[in-house]
Amino acid sequence: MLSLPKALGRPLTVLVQYLVAFKERKWGAWTLIAFYISLLSGIIVGLQYDYLNPFYSTTAIDLLAPYGRFFRALHFFSSQFFFFFCCFHLLAIYEKTSTYSKLEWARLIGSLPLILLLLFTGYVLRGDNTGSSAGLIAENIMLAIPVFGSSLNDLFLSLSDNGLRKVYIHHVIALDLLLLIFAWNHLRTYRINIRDYLPLVAAILVFSVFISAPFEPDRLGTSYISGPWFFLGLQELLRYFPTLIAGVITPLLFLIVLFSAHPANRHFRIIVIAMGLSLCGYAVLSYIAWHR
């Protein structure tokens, strides 16, 4: 009979090999590739988009614009890949960030919620059942903020009074500029040659040919609408707690933990454990919401 250490030896060796392979993969380059594709396809889609008639505009892009369905799918999926690759890249270089100053770390981490906001505003701009509901929930959350809620809503959303005009401006201009400002010091250290990553480019293009970007028209008799995948846990949390606690305080606490997770922080281990437990809890809530 194998001893316990020897029995665990091979699985641990395989795990270490996977971790080494994970770190050695060029996630930073993959992130930039997805980012470039997202920007270029976003320009093409944006030229066909009308925020005054979002639902019909999105429908027209899919059905009437030449290759419109492909370019909308390309923009949608490359944006999702951009976020995932960015997270993987952060995990792969996490140990190296111990040399970053607090300001550099804050800028790097701040790019993650900015990317999520870009993804979220993209969902809202679709104008379909999911997008409209997500925008309404976001507006109610913002209005629940004491004192400043109304002013923040007027600045960022104001869907009830201005439709999607402000959301569109933030999606195509403000959030992109902020993301570049936050990530610029990190981005300029990377130099990539597109020809070295043609298989990745081809994979994203082929994926977008066969898989359409989601679009959910109104359905009669629907009593529950699932939001964007990253919004599901928050949506489920809103079922159990007041809007201020579930929609404002809880995300704010997680952001504080995320910004505090610098490897040089003396409470590093406690913070990482808290962040891991938070992500596991959010995954469970998302799973419940997904199957509701």
The total domain count for the chain is 1
Distance CA 241, CA 174 (A): 32
Domain that holds residue 97: 23-127+164-213
Residue 158 zone, left/alpha/beta (φ > 0; ψ -120 to 50; rest): left
**269 lies in some domain:** no
Does the residue 232 lie in any domain? no
Question: Is residue 231 situated within a structural domain?
Answer: no
Residue 11 within a domain: no
pTM listed for this prediction: 0.87
Indicate which CATH number applies to the domain containing 50.
1.20.810.10
- Each of the 292 residues of the chain gets a pLDDT tens digit; together they read 444 455 545 554 554 455 555 566 788 889 999 999 999 999 999 999 999 999 999 999 999 989 999 999 999 999 999 999 999 888 888 888 888 888 888 888 999 999 999 999 999 999 888 888 888 889 999 999 998 989 999 988 888 888 899 999 999 999 999 999 988 877 777 777 778 889 999 999 999 999 999 888 766 556 567 778 888 899 899 989 999 999 999 999 989 988 888 888 878 888 888 888 888 999 999 999 888 7
First to last CA, the chain: 47
Examine residue 250 and state whether it is found in any structural domain, yes or no: no
Q: Is residue 237 part of a domain?
A: no
The answer to the question of residue 132 being in a domain is no
Do residues 18 and 88 lie in contact, with contact meaning Cβ atoms separated by under 8 Å? Answer: no
H-run or E-run covering 38:
helix 27-48
Q: Per the domain annotation, does 152 fall within a domain?
A: no
